[in-house]
Structure 1
Amino acid sequence: MPVSDVFPKAGEPSATMSATLRDLVHALRLITDVRLLGAADPELAVRTHVILDAASLAAEALPEEVGAGLVVLTGDAPGQLVALADDLAARSPGAILLRDPGVPVPEVLLAGAVVVVPRGPEWSALLAEALRVVVEPRRHDVGSARLNRALAEHTDLFDVAKALGVATGTLISIEDERARVMAFSPYSDQADPIRRLAILGREPPQWHVEQLRSERVYDRLRVPGATVELPEAGEVRRRLGIGMADPTTGVYLGTIWAQETDVPFGPELEDHLVGAARYAARLVSQARQIHSVSTELVQRLLAPEGPGSGDDVPQLRVREPASFALIGIEAVDDDRAAEWLLSSEAVALLSMRAVSLAEQALVAPYGARLYVLAPGPADPARDVAWAERTVAHLQAQRHAGFRAAVSSSASAGSVRAARAEIERVCARTAPSAARPVVTLDSDRTAVLLAECLEALPRAALLDDERFRTLVEYDGRSSIDLLETARVWLRVHGEFGPAAQALTTHQNTVRYRIGRLESLAGYDLADPDDRLLLALQLRLHDQS
């Protein structure tokens, strides 16, 4: 049976826009042992995927959509793979992903690539990781190769973890200050449950983190150069950890953990950890400085005193884009959501989403909003659609209200003018669940009307004796004449629709409007009186 394994155990993922077979195998080999069988082209683009259940297909024909993408074959019976082999090969799939069938893979399938992963309880997590690489290749790139290239051309945190693991005979994982896994050494069958769950879930189990906090482990890791040992407990193997500190500020950046294998900890492990912690801290610090430079760039362009269109920002050596989209996102009536929106976690999340809008998109907080600056030709429909998807994602993830406003070089000219336009629209439109994204074009009437109301002599209009009479009457009566007038004017003086909106009878509405006219002296058959009362009601509502 021909077998080809052209991928190294650890290597750079491809930087292509579509995920490749190399990307897929690289991502899975960081987690588990992967065999690649058959004729494999490392640069094969894997743009689509189909999940097939071998058991259900035993009595059914293969679906027509099976094509030259990734075919994920589920099901446990080895005989089913043999039975499906001819039909599956005839569809010329780009690659097949399956659990180890326990029997030789049929020869006919080896004309293409077959990716075989071990059997075990981690199958669902491995499948999720594979689909994440295929479905979100840009996000996959942001999380690895793109950031790694920004850190340094010759090394990254995965290199540190791999080198440290080889030097010490241990399994290494590098976590940030919130215990999220940033990098880890290659797969080993000696990984204990904590390590497996941490890598598959991108962070250790919550109960484990809480236990370490209760035992003040993280407090001890904040002491520069100090190592902390966690003893073996059941299936959880012995660990030695050391904190990483920012080389300039001394701020805690995270932890390097070394898990013991069948080879006991050696006498030089602590020295290796100290050196690795200093070096890894430098890489993490560099990455955050790169992020802070991008943040400063956007903030300078957004600032009222920032550079004009086409002007250079000397310290950053960049030029404002000639055309762009600017999207501002804000929380709605939720202080905790507003605080989170300005955090580094929110910036990272929006940065990953923004690359689908523009490859060179930049994200930064400014004022109470998080802004996305996407250089490139303006496309209002595309920008609004992206903003709607992003707001929906944030609301589902954070269980809070958010909304967005969109501007562009086409409508505003410069970045700071676009930011001013976004502030103008947000300040003069009320948040609405039905319309989570606003623009000046779609909300121009509401914006201009609000600005007209701001320019009116508020005190004089509200001090009108007729209007004060209505306010005082409503204050001592159960009949709400102001609300009746507000609804009646909104439906253009139609009694039927007003009665329906107020859930009362038409005659009741007629009586209240008549009572309002006789009490206050308005003549609501006069268009000028109607306009004046409508403006007074708007101003009263605002106050």
Structure 2
Amino acid sequence: MRSVVIHGADEDPTEVGDVLLGIGARTVSEAVDWAVSARAVVALVRGSVETEDEPQSEGVAVMVIGQGVAWSEVAAVVYGLVLEGRETEAGRGPTDLFALADSLADAVEGAVTIEDRRSRVLAYSRPQQHLDPARVETILGREMPPWLRALFDAHGVFTHVATSAEPLFVPAQAERGMTGRMVVAVRVGRQLLGSVWVSCPAPLQGARRVALVNGARTVALHLLRSRASADLERQVESDRVIGLLEGAADAATVASRLGLVSQSLRVIALRARIAEEQHAALLLVFERATTGFGWSRSSRSALVGDTVYTVLPADQADTARRWTSQLQAALPEQITVSAGISAVARATELALARQEAEECLALHEARPADAAPPAYDESWDEILLRRLRTARHSGRTPARGPVSELRRHDRANSTQYVATLRAWLQSQGDPAEAGALLGVHENTIRNRLRKMAEVTILDLDDPRKRLAMMIELAATDNA
């Protein structure tokens, strides 16, 4: 998207653009006709237009906007999205939320904090006068502390913000270390997006009050545009990551588009839950993993079913573990996160790496909650044994043979022949070491081996037979 056009009074508009704002359109068909004339691929109309007709024009997507949203707000958001390149790579361009907080603080002559609907801090102004412990604690904790939230709730602040667009003053609470606060809702149409708070000893009046109200409108446009940009980027990113994990034929090209130029990539598979609730926790993990635009983070993520998959450039498994730890630290304490890390892979090997990460995730879920996430290149032996045990549970291990016959003999006669065979193989045929493992004399091992040879044909001198018995024993541990 490179340009925006608004239909004028001319019957045949000469202006062209990718997005058409259907201001004044009486029907969807009329807006589509305007879009075709302007060579636009998207037409935006308000919910008040006639929608009974169904335009048949191909190549024009129609988006219907809620009637409660003003065209000025729509135009600001659309122009911001289409002309996104005007922002600086550092994110401190003219629409940066922190820069906006600074400008608003200068206009109202008080320290400003911008919060979302859940009282989480989105941005704050430079230190100014009227700083108090409550503001400091809010900023450091990145959200309003519980005691402060309870205080505002008792004053009816949240009810007022949810129902009114007028600023509200909350008197100072000296005993709690809080100066006065002026708060105004951040809203687009009827949708509440957050709130703007100003530290001030008395209610704002005159031009400062007007500046606060106007600033809240600007914040609303910024939040709406940022949300739309982030959601669009998440969708594109997820589609490409899923393609890599499914073995896309053009994997190298897809990885390049995602900015994954490293040849040392790892797949991290994550699951999360809050108590018995899984889906809410998973969405929080995905939101956190994809917070920030692509250039500001090295990872790329997708949510597939009940698992978040992240592709991360990482030569060492500890790099992936640190990434997982940082993700966990940014989430609410009650969320439990399990993770599995693949071995190093190239872009063309990410489908295999996905399977490795899933198997490591299964390992982690079976371990204590405080255990470090396993990585495939460190835990491949345990995963191999899990695969063998899975084969055993599906009935694909032999029902007859030396190990099976010794196991049946143990059950019938309370002998320890299978344990003896396992210890002897583990000690590579050393009776003394095998006896130490079992806590018996080495002659007891030799005596048992002779009796075991009478029960079944062991062929312990054959290396292939020994290997086969070790594999079967590993697959049937605890059987």
Shared fold by TM > 0.5?
yes
Report the counterpart of residue 194 of structure 2 in structure 1: 254
**Per the alignment, do residues 481 and 218 of structure 1 end up closer, same or farther by CA in structure 2, a change over 3 Å counting?**
farther
Which of 222, 235, 241 is residue 183 of structure 2 equivalent to?
A: 241
Residue 538 of structure 1 aligns to a residue whose secondary structure is helix
C-alpha contact (below 8 Å) 2:388/2:475 kept by paired residues: no
**Per the alignment, do residues 458 and 481 of structure 1 end up closer, same or farther by CA in structure 2, a change over 3 Å counting?**
farther
C-alpha contact (below 8 Å) 1:310/1:320 kept by paired residues: no
**Per the alignment, do residues 457 and 182 of structure 1 end up closer, same or farther by CA in structure 2, a change over 3 Å counting?**
closer
C-alpha contact (below 8 Å) 1:241/1:256 kept by paired residues: yes
**Per the alignment, do residues 336 and 488 of structure 1 end up closer, same or farther by CA in structure 2, a change over 3 Å counting?**
farther
Which of 418, 421, 435 is residue 350 of structure 2 equivalent to?
A: 418
Report the counterpart of residue 107 of structure 1 in structure 2: none
Report the counterpart of residue 240 of structure 2 in structure 1: 301
Mapped pair 1:173 → 2:113: yes
Which of 277, 283, 296 is residue 222 of structure 2 equivalent to?
A: 283
Residue 154 of structure 1 aligns to a residue whose secondary structure is coil
Residue 300 of structure 2 aligns to a residue whose secondary structure is strand
Give 1:496 shift: 3.7
Structure 2: how far apart are the matches of 1:226 and 1:471?
80
Q: Which amino acid aligns with 2:300?
A: V
Give 1:194 shift: 0.7
Report the counterpart of residue 266 of structure 1 in structure 2: 205
Structure 2: how far apart are the matches of 1:307 and 1:455?
31
Structure 2: how far apart are the matches of 1:203 and 1:457?
49
Structure 1: how far apart are the matches of 2:193 and 2:416?
60
Give 1:276 shift: 3.0
Q: Which amino acid aligns with 2:219?
A: A
Unpaired stretches in structure 1, ≥5 consecutive residues: 1-145, 375-379
C-alpha contact (below 8 Å) 1:351/1:361 kept by paired residues: no
> Structure 2 matches for 1:7-406, cutoff 5 A?
149=89, 153-209=93-149, 211-212=151-152, 218=158, 221-223=161-163, 225=165, 229-234=169-174, 235-245=177-187, 247=188, 250=191, 253-261=193-201, 263-266=202-205, 272-303=211-242, 304=246, 306=248, 308-311=250-253, 318=257, 323-330=262-269, 335-336=273-274, 342-344=282-284, 348=288, 361-367=298-304, 368-374=307-313, 381=315, 383-391=316-324, 402-406=339-343
Give 1:173 shift: 0.8
**Per the alignment, do residues 265 and 364 of structure 1 end up closer, same or farther by CA in structure 2, a change over 3 Å counting?**
same
Report the counterpart of residue 399 of structure 2 in structure 1: 463
Structure 2: how far apart are the matches of 1:220 and 1:469?
78
Residue 155 of structure 1 aligns to a residue whose secondary structure is coil
**Per the alignment, do residues 394 and 344 of structure 1 end up closer, same or farther by CA in structure 2, a change over 3 Å counting?**
closer
Q: Which amino acid aligns with 2:239?
A: R
**Per the alignment, do residues 327 and 227 of structure 1 end up closer, same or farther by CA in structure 2, a change over 3 Å counting?**
farther
Q: Which amino acid aligns with 1:280?
A: V
Structure 2: how far apart are the matches of 1:217 and 1:511?
84
Residue 266 of structure 2 aligns to a residue whose secondary structure is strand
**Per the alignment, do residues 188 and 482 of structure 1 end up closer, same or farther by CA in structure 2, a change over 3 Å counting?**
same
Structure 2: how far apart are the matches of 1:346 and 1:386?
19
C-alpha contact (below 8 Å) 1:387/1:437 kept by paired residues: no
**Per the alignment, do residues 389 and 274 of structure 1 end up closer, same or farther by CA in structure 2, a change over 3 Å counting?**
same
Residue 329 of structure 1 aligns to a residue whose secondary structure is strand
- Percent of aligned positions with the same letter in both sequences? 21
Structure 2: how far apart are the matches of 1:189 and 1:477?
86
Give 1:371 shift: 0.9
Mapped pair 1:533 → 2:469: yes
Mapped pair 1:491 → 2:401: no
Residue 160 of structure 1 aligns to a residue whose secondary structure is helix
Q: Which amino acid aligns with 1:386?
A: T
Q: Which amino acid aligns with 1:189?
A: Q
The normalised TM-score by structure 2 is 0.59
Give 1:179 shift: 3.2
C-alpha contact (below 8 Å) 1:294/1:362 kept by paired residues: no
C-alpha contact (below 8 Å) 2:389/2:476 kept by paired residues: no
Q: Deviations over 1:200-220 (max 9, x none)?
A: 444444432455568875566
The normalised TM-score by structure 1 is 0.53
Residue 205 of structure 2 aligns to a residue whose secondary structure is coil
C-alpha contact (below 8 Å) 1:326/1:373 kept by paired residues: yes
Structure 2: how far apart are the matches of 1:180 and 1:254?
9
**Per the alignment, do residues 504 and 370 of structure 1 end up closer, same or farther by CA in structure 2, a change over 3 Å counting?**
farther
Structure 1: how far apart are the matches of 2:381 and 2:197?
59
Structure 1: how far apart are the matches of 2:432 and 2:151?
65
Q: Which amino acid aligns with 1:459?
A: G
Residue 375 of structure 2 aligns to a residue whose secondary structure is strand
Report the counterpart of residue 39 of structure 2 in structure 1: none
Residue 459 of structure 1 aligns to a residue whose secondary structure is coil
Q: Deviations over 1:219-255 (max 9, x none)?
A: 664447365553332242232333435x4993x5433
C-alpha contact (below 8 Å) 1:406/1:439 kept by paired residues: yes
Unpaired stretches in structure 2, ≥5 consecutive residues: 1-85
Structure 1: how far apart are the matches of 2:445 and 2:159?
68
Name the Cα RMSD after superposition: 4.9
